[in-house]
């Protein structure tokens, strides 16, 4: 499931020779039938991965993650400056 650290784990898995795919968190939350727990999330991820027309998300590269971090830090700095 694509979440905050999923790109890191995808990169790590691929370094060790595994094929890793990310699934949209929105898709998983739509499939989850009950409240959010680790077990229910795991079941929903498995069910989502077996859908016929599921579209997997391409993960971010390290450079893309760095750029995203810079943009988020800039947004936070602007927000704090405006708050002052």
- Beta-bridge mates of residue 57: 22
Closest by CA to 8, choosing from 62, 83, 67, is: 62
Quote the pLDDT of residue 15. 93
Block means of pLDDT (10 residues each) for the chain, length 84 residues?
A: 80 92 86 86 88 85 89 96 91
Alpha-carbon span 64 to 80, nearest angstrom: 24
pTM of the model: 0.65
* Cα separation, 48 vs 70, whole angstroms: 32
Give the model's pLDDT for residue 1.
Answer: 66
For residue 73, the model assigns a pLDDT of: 96
Give pLDDT, residue 45: 87
């Amino acid at each position: 499931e694509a979440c905050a650290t999923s790109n890191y784990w995808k990169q790590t898995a691929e370094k060790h020779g595994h094929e890793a795919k990310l699934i949209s968190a929105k898709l998983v939350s739509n499939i989850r039938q009950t409240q959010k727990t680790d077990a229910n999330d795991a079941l929903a991820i498995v069910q989502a991965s077996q859908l016929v027309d599921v579209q997997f998300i391409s993960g971010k590269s390290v450079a893309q993650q760095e750029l995203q971090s810079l943009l988020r830090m800039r947004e936070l700095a602007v927000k704090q400056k405006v708050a002052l």
